[in-house]
Structure 1
Amino acid sequence: MIDIPYRSALIIGVGPGISGSLTRLLRAAEIPVVIAARHVDKLTPLVDQTGAIALPVDASDAGQIERLFAETDARIGAPEIVLYNASGRLRGPIAELDPSQVEQAVAVSALGAFYTVQQAAKRMVPAGKGAILLTGATAGIKGFALSAPFAMGKFALRGLAQSAARELAPQGIHVAHVVVDGGVRAEHRPDPPDRPDSTLDPDAIAQCYIDLLRQHRSAWSSELEVRPWVEKF
């Protein structure tokens, strides 16, 4: 198995789940990592555990994303791995949703991803190297009732991933969209005793990201679906 061919990473939208697991795997490979979230105080345990650098960002703000990349450049160099894991969730009947809240939810899921891909491309295209990973969801494949804003954002994210992959792959940049099709296991959401592994283990999902990063460019994946073995689809 080849080593990860990238030497620095920026993860946006970090929490205790998928992004936390990926941070631990990357740091175990001695790759410097900047982790970013709206509220960095929640990242203290992960920073203490891994030595990652935590920076604040509102992913829906283009200026803040630009400043985050500039600060990352200063701290660890231009990131060769960029993961966008942020998303905006808003549930409710379409007729009752607040338009301003819908706008914010879509901005986090979709516009923030565009701002991130744009800043990554500005650094990776001249270098002719890099990987951009975008965390999708079932909602990017089919929209569920009472979840229109999330579906809108995740459908847009998938379109961005497809367009960016077709544009940037020939320039040496691996763009991949990961469809997380199912609930992700967490402390507050463990598997039922009678249904082990019925949710996605965040460590297992993170390993899939590592596997993507290790792919040879002659066989790059642009989209990967992950789901529990008992999931119906």
Structure 2
Amino acid sequence: MTDQSLALVAGAGTGLGQALVQKFQDKGMKAVGLSRSPSEAEGLDIRTCDLTDRDAVNATVAPLITEFGAPKIVVHNPAHLVIAGFLDTSLEDIEACWRNMVLSCATLAQCTLQPMVRAGGGTFIVSGATASLRGGGKFSAFASAKFALRGMTQSLAREFQPSGVHVVHTILDGIIDTPRSRELHSLDPSKMMKVDDLAEAYWQVSQQPKSVWTHELDLRPQSEGF
């Protein structure tokens, strides 16, 4: 086993996920991203994995734990966005949102939380959204999964924080600045959330002392109304 601390980022796609892998790597950690799609990111260790398949996740994570020890930081960051009127939203869309966000979180947690407890703790962060708090029109599939994800995170915090695992739910209340979001939204990029700034916020919350743990952290641009 090496002395390098392990950080895992599930949902390590272009944008926040890869920024998190880069941040943890820059901090000297063995940072590994898990992504359902192959990645071409240079200089980052990102492995293709079906996050809804417990056996696949365990097959990827277990050897890392053997080599580097239990992860010090785990981030659950997958998203599956469906925007459609409820009557135009298929049951397959609803299930896909649930599987890609809620089931994947349960799978990741079952593969990492027990080793973290045995190792004395760590930080488990779940990325939420505005839809974690309120369901907007045409967001029934997405919001229902985000609500469930928030509830799961609250339960995990109450169960595992006494054992030393800091469980955090972040509410990303705004548009993340990525090439894709610039295509979709006619919004001034200066009013978007920068992935490097978000990654720094995740890092800072992972370093909080036990006497002042944050469970829910809401992040938004200065210009965003709330």
TM-score (norm 2): 0.91
Describe the shift of the 1:93–1:168 C-alpha distance in structure 2 as closer, same or farther (beyond 3 A): same
Match of 1:216 in 2: 209
Which blocks of at least 5 consecutive residues in structure 1 are unaligned?
A: 1-5
| Cross-structure match for 1:120 | 112
Aligned position for 2:17? 19
Counterpart residue number, 2:7:
9
RMSD between superposed Cα atoms in Å: 2.1
Question: Which residue in 1 is equivalent to 2:102?
Answer: 110
The alignment's TM-score, normalised by the length of structure 1, stands at: 0.88
Corresponding residue of 2:143? 151
Quote the Cα distance in structure 2 between the aligned partners of 1:26 and 1:190: 26
Task: Report the CA distance shift for 1:187/1:117 in structure 2 as closer, same or farther (over 3 A).
Answer: same
Note if contact 1:197-1:229 (Cα within 8 Å) is conserved in structure 2: no
Residue-by-residue CA offset, 1:75-100 (whole Å, 9 max, x unaligned) = 54332211100122222222222212
Cα 1:19–1:194 change in 2 (3 A) is: closer
Quick one: percent identity of the two aligned structures? 28
> How far did residue 27 of structure 1 move?
1.0
**Residues in 2 aligned to 1:175 and 1:149: alpha-carbon distance in whole angstroms:** 25
* Partner in structure 1 of residue 198 of structure 2: 205
Trace 1:136-147 onto structure 2 (pairs within 5 A).
Answer: 136-147=128-139
In the alignment, is the contact (CA less than 8 A) between 1:137 and 1:154 conserved in 2?
Answer: yes
Distance (whole Å) between structure 1 residues aligned to residue 224 and residue 215 of structure 2: 22
Structure-2 change in CA distance of 1:133 and 1:32 (3 Å): same
* 2:191 alignment partner, SS class: coil
Moved more, 220-229 or 104-113: 104-113
Count of residues in correspondence between the two structures: 222
**Hey, what's the Cα distance between the residues in 2 that align with 1:193 and 1:183?**
11
Distance of 1:152 and 1:194 partners within structure 2: 26
Deviation, structure 1 residue 12: 0.6
Task: State yes or no: 1:227 paired with 2:225.
Answer: no
What CA distance in whole angstroms lies between the structure 2 residues aligned with 1:37 and 1:71?
17
Asked if the contact 2:70–2:119 (Cα under 8 Å) also holds between the matched residues in 1, the reply is: no
**AA at the equivalent of 2:34:** A
Please give the per-residue CA displacement for 1:45-100, whole angstroms capped at 9, x wherever unaligned: 2xx23xx3222111222222222222432454332211100122222222222212
